[in-house]
Every structure is written in C-alpha cells, then in structure tokens.
Amino acid sequence: MADTNFSNDQMLKLYESMLRIRKVEEQLAKDSKEGNIPGAVHLYIGQEAVAVGVCSQLNDKDWIASTHRGHGHFLAKGGETRLLMAEVYGRDTGICRGRGGSMHVADFSKGIIGANGIVGGGISITTGAGLASKLTNDGSVAVAFFGDGAANQGVLAEALNISTLWQLPVIFVCENNGFSEFSPTNTVTAGNIVDRAKPYGTACETVDGNDVIAVWQCAERAKLRASRGDGPTLIEAHTYRQRGHVEAEASFLSKNYRDSQEIEGWVSKDPITLFEKRIVDAGQAKIEDLQVISRAMEAEVNEAVEFAEKSPYPDPGGNEQQYMFT
Ligand SMILES: Cc1ncc(C[n+]2csc(CCOP(=O)(O)OP(=O)(O)O)c2C)c(N)n1
C-alpha cells in the first residue's frame, strides 16, 4: 500500500465517500431485485477507490464524464445522493428530471458532464471539455472514466492523439475490472491498455485500483501535469467488478462466466475493507468511529429512498424546455 501522511480527517473523508457509494449501490441492488427500478442497473461495487481517489483531487469546476456504471463517479464528484436515487427511480425530482435514469446521471453544476450508455462515449466528450478549458484558460481539468472494454474503441486512440498534440488538461482513467460484459478482458484485449499511451508520447501510469490512497496519489500527479500545461495522462487502474455486469443478469444467462473463487479472491481485497483496516491499524480512528459513519450513510440512503418514492413520475406531455440543464 502507498505511504501517506494524511490527517485523520482526510482519511475519514475518503472512507465516507467510498462508503456512500457502497451503501447507495447495496440499496439499488435490493431495489433492482424487487423490481422497484425501471431499466437496467450496472453496479460499481468493488471499484469505489477509483472514483473516490480521482475525484478527491477535483473541484466543481473540473469536469468528469463516465460510463453506464456511473453512480460512483457521480457521488464521488459531489452529486447528491437523493437526486441520484430519484433519477434511478425515474422520478421528476431526479437530477435529470427522471429522463436519464441510471445510465445518464449528470449535474453540470458539479462538473459532472454525464454518465454515458455509449461505451467510450465519455472519452471524446472529455477531450472536448479539455479543449474548452485550454481555450478559455479557466484552469479546469477534464477526466474521462471508462472501462477496459471501452479502451478497445477507436475513440481512445483519437483522443490520446489530439489531446497530447494539443497538450490538453485531460486525464483518461481506464478502470480495468476484468470484464467487458461477459467476456474476460484477456479474451478481447491485446497487450496492456496503459501501453496504448506510448505511440503518442502520452504520460501513463498503472495503479492498484483497490487502494484509494495510491489512486489519489496517481491522480494528483496527473492533475499536476494537466494544470502545468504538460498535457494528458492515461491511467490504468486494476480493480474488479464484484457484482454482475448488470443486475438481473442471472435471469438470462445460461451459464457462469467466472468462478466463485475468483470473486472471493477479489472480495478479500475489497477496497473499503482494506481501507478500514488501514485506518484502524494506523490508529487514525476506532472501529466505533467508522460505524458512526456507516450509520450516517445508511440514514442518508434511507432518506434518499423516501424522497424518491414520494416523488412524482415525470409528465411525458410536459414542457421540455424546463428540463434543460441549467
Ligand atoms: C458503443 C457500444 N457498444 C456496445 C455496447 C454494449 N455494452 C454495454 S456495456 C458493455 C461492456 C463495457 O465494458 P467495459 O468498458 O469494460 O466497462 P464495464 O462494464 O466493465 O464497467 C458493452 C459492450 C454499448 N453500450 N455501446
């Protein structure tokens, strides 16, 4: 694990942010099973350290774009739990007025350009945000989160090329979680994803995506490069998707595509459990302090569910003008 001189408060903040994502998604797993949510839900459980480590380096004027698995990025970047929950429930009080749903959460006021159901879609959007930052000289940095499957889309090559040539303040964060839908990464991906930066001379790093501090430090280096005008960085974060590609997949898959031992091996390297141990072992908090945070996150989720359940569905005949982002 990476060394750190983080204060107790900083450690607990990172912990809280990861736990918020976990608690929200455990709730969504339950909701999906019970049929409370319209549409597909792709959970981020096991990958929280990536979103939190990176987004803790950013502020509201920095941009992120993410993927179909985007709840974690939204929350880590400061999106509100109740607005996310209402959106996933398809309600008019959701962050996109219930019109986006799980795969399209966005909040421009927090620099969240949007999750994206098009695999690789966020890569080009982020590059555009990086160009805007350079042209306006507003000091913002743009981050694209995407999966190992998305790394095989041609758009990554285009984005690495132009963002490096123009020295755009962009950070490309590939979350290699071992799968692209039901295909193990090594059956569809040649070579190392991080090496795709090399032909363009783009800065690149790999990082343990289950170690929030290591991710934080890696993102700090990338942000510094971007802010100094030294251009983009490609980060490949190694992590694991603990749940299925999509909730409900068991209802349509005829056979397992991974064995339980593999899952258990990664669950034993769960980013939140590892971080809890690290905090307690270092004497930075007691287990009781972590339980207080856990209860607070559960209360936040319960409040968000109540808010969503009480909220109306959107009016399909309503005036679309009012649903534009502000
Ligand atoms: C352009 C495009 N092609 C195919 C799909 C179908 N699809 C949805 S998710 C997915 C796998 C994406 O894998 P990865 O990028 O590794 O992300 P992960 O699901 O592992 O987070 C695919 C192929 C899509 N949504 N968009």
Least confident of 187-191, 242-246, 317-321: 317-321
Task: For residue 178, give the ligand 1 atom closest to its CA.
Answer: 20
pTM (predicted TM-score): 0.96
Ligand 1 centroid – CA 313 distance (Å): 28
**CA–CA distance, 51 with 170 (Å, rounded to integer):** 16
Determine the distance from the C-alpha atom of residue 222 to the mean position of all C-alpha atoms in its chain, rounded to a whole number. 17
The reported pLDDT for the residue numbered 254 is: 86
Structure token pair of residue 317: 């005949």
Place of tokens 């060394």: 3
The reported pLDDT for the residue numbered 317 is: 78
One DSSP character per residue, 36-61 reads -SSS-----TT-HHHHHHHHTT--TT
Whether 323 has a pLDDT exceeding 80, the answer reads no
Q: What are 294-311's pLDDT values in tens digits?
A: 999 999 999 999 999 999
**CA–CA distance, 252 with 246 (Å, rounded to integer):** 11
The reported pLDDT for the residue numbered 164 is: 98
The reported pLDDT for the residue numbered 287 is: 97
**CA–CA distance, 48 with 212 (Å, rounded to integer):** 8
Q: Out of 67, 181, 239, give the residue to mutate to test ligand 1, the one with the largest number of ligand atoms within 8 Å of its CB.
A: 181
List the domains of the chain with CATH numbers.
8-308 (3.40.50.970)
Task: For residue 117, give the ligand 1 atom closest to its CA.
Answer: 25
Ligand 1 centroid – CA 45 distance (Å): 17
Candidates 219, 237, 228, 121; CA nearest to 168 is 228
Structure token pair of residue 12: 């607990």
Whether 318 has a pLDDT exceeding 90, the answer reads no
Helix (H, G, I), strand (E, B) or coil at 202: coil
Element containing residue 204 per DSSP (H, E): strand 203-208
Structure token pair of residue 186: 């090594």
**How are the residues of the chain apportioned to helix, strand and coil, as percentages rounded to the nearest 5?**
50, 10, 40
The reported pLDDT for the residue numbered 326 is: 41
Q: What are 129-159's pLDDT values in tens digits?
A: 999 999 999 999 999 999 999 999 999 999 9
Least confident of 100-114, 202-216, 308-322: 308-322
Q: What percent of the chain has pLDDT over 70?
A: 96
Task: For residue 69, give the ligand 1 atom closest to its CA.
Answer: 21
**What rounded mean pLDDT belongs to the chain?**
95
Q: What are 62-103's pLDDT values in tens digits?
A: 999 999 999 999 999 999 999 999 999 999 999 999 999 999
**CA–CA distance, 88 with 134 (Å, rounded to integer):** 34
**CA–CA distance, 274 with 30 (Å, rounded to integer):** 24
| Ligand 1 residue neighbourhood (C-beta within 6 Å) | 67-69, 117-119, 146-150, 177, 179-181, 241, 245
Mean pLDDT confidence for 239-252: 94
The reported pLDDT for the residue numbered 321 is: 55
**CA–CA distance, 86 with 105 (Å, rounded to integer):** 11
Whether 224 has a pLDDT exceeding 60, the answer reads yes
The reported pLDDT for the residue numbered 250 is: 84
Q: What percent of the chain has pLDDT over 90?
A: 92
The reported pLDDT for the residue numbered 5 is: 87
Structure token pair of residue 84: 């996310």
Phi then psi for 276, rounded to 5 degrees? Answer: -55, -50
Whether 236 has a pLDDT exceeding 50, the answer reads yes
Residue 30 CA neighbour count, 13 Å, CB half: 9
Structure token pair of residue 292: 């207080």
